[in-house]
Amino acid sequence: MNKLTRILALCLLVLCVASPVFAQAGGTPATAVATNWDLGSALGAGIVLLGAGFGIGRIGGSAVESMARQPEVADKIQGAMIVAAALIEGATFFALLVCLLRVFK
């Protein structure tokens, strides 16, 4: 199964799982029914976390592979890896905060 097929299958799965929530009628704010915006924000937060996990995983894997090929520059690679991971985590926390502020407003 190639990468595009996996992405399309994941999108279809998300739409199938979320379809009952989209089909519900809008209620008063006192009800516990999630609105479409709340669902979108929650899905956005999940996508942000998945993206950050994949990004940091790729950084770690590439850094370990580079250190194995050139052990003499392992200190420089490790420092660059930590800086890149910190930047990804900072952007992740910001995006997660934006998504969750919409859910818990």
Residue 39: CB partners within 8 Å, gap ≥ 6?
A: 18, 21, 22
Dist CA 80 CA 69 (whole Å): 16
Q: Which of 11-20, 52-61, 83-92 has the lowest mean pLDDT?
A: 11-20
- The residue among 33 and 51 whose pLDDT is bigger is 51
- CATH architecture of the domain 34-105 equals Up-down Bundle (1.20)
Residue 28 predicted with pLDDT over 70: no
Task: Name the token pair of 87.
Answer: 């930047």
State residue 45's pLDDT score: 78
What pLDDT, in 10s, does the model give residues 61-101? 999 999 999 999 999 999 999 999 999 999 988 888 887 78
Structural domain boundaries in the chain: 34-105
